[in-house]
């Protein structure tokens, strides 16, 4: 069954809010787009709740600057009222706040499951990030206990 226009727009907005939350280091806004028990997998890291996901981003240096964008959002109805999503994301990143010539850090496929809460607001319940192209020299500096 196809996803309706209003749901598609809400999930596109949800993904934009995720990107802006990461890029602006707005952890409250990031919490608002994730379920409390989100399953999040990215480049050797796996988390099973929103607090752990947010802590992983908070551990990065304050000088780290990113900009995320996405395209090719494909949505399908999933089990038990969920929506399954696939999209292509790109990330520009620098660990130096003064950098001006910033190459592409990563292009990745995102495999998502979205669920709606009691108020009908969509949240990310699962996000699995599969890198397609990645420039490891632009990865965040290592954090103890966290792989790059």
Model pLDDT for residues 51-88, shown as the tens digit of each residue? 999 999 999 988 889 999 999 999 999 999 999 999 99
Give 15's contacts (C-beta < 8 A, 6+ positions apart). Answer: 70, 73, 87
Residue 147: how many other CB atoms lie within 10 Å: 9
| Phi/psi of residue 100, nearest 5 degrees | -120, -25
The domain tally of the chain equals: 1
83: CATH: 3.10.450.50
In a domain? residue 117: yes
Q: Which pLDDT tens digit goes with each residue over 1-44?
A: 589 999 999 999 999 999 999 999 999 999 999 999 999 999 88
In a domain? residue 148: no
In a domain? residue 142: no
Read off the DSSP letter of residue 112. Answer: E
CA 68-73-78 angle, to 5 degrees, is 120
Q: State whether residue 99 is helix, strand or coil.
A: coil
pTM (2 decimals)? 0.91
* Confidence (pLDDT) at 143: 47
In a domain? residue 20: yes
Domain encompassing residue 44: 5-135
């Amino acid at each position: 069954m196809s996803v309706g226009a209003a749901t598609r727009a809400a999930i596109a907005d949800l993904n934009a809010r995720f990107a802006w939350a990461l890029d602006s280091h707005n952890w409250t806004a990031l919490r608002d787009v994730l379920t409390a028990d989100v399953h999040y997998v990215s480049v050797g890291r796996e988390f099973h709740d929103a607090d752990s996901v947010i802590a992983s981003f908070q551990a990065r240096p304050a000088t780290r600057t990113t900009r995320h964008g996405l395209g090719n959002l494909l949505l399908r109805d999933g089990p038990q009222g969920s929506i399954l999503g696939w999209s292509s994301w790109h990330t520009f990143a620098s660990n130096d706040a003064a950098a001006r010539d910033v190459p592409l850090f990563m292009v990745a496929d995102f495999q998502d499951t979205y669920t709606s809460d009691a108020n009908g607001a969509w949240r990310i319940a699962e996000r699995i990030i599969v890198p397609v192209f990645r420039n490891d020299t632009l990865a965040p500096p290592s954090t103890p206990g966290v792989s790059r």
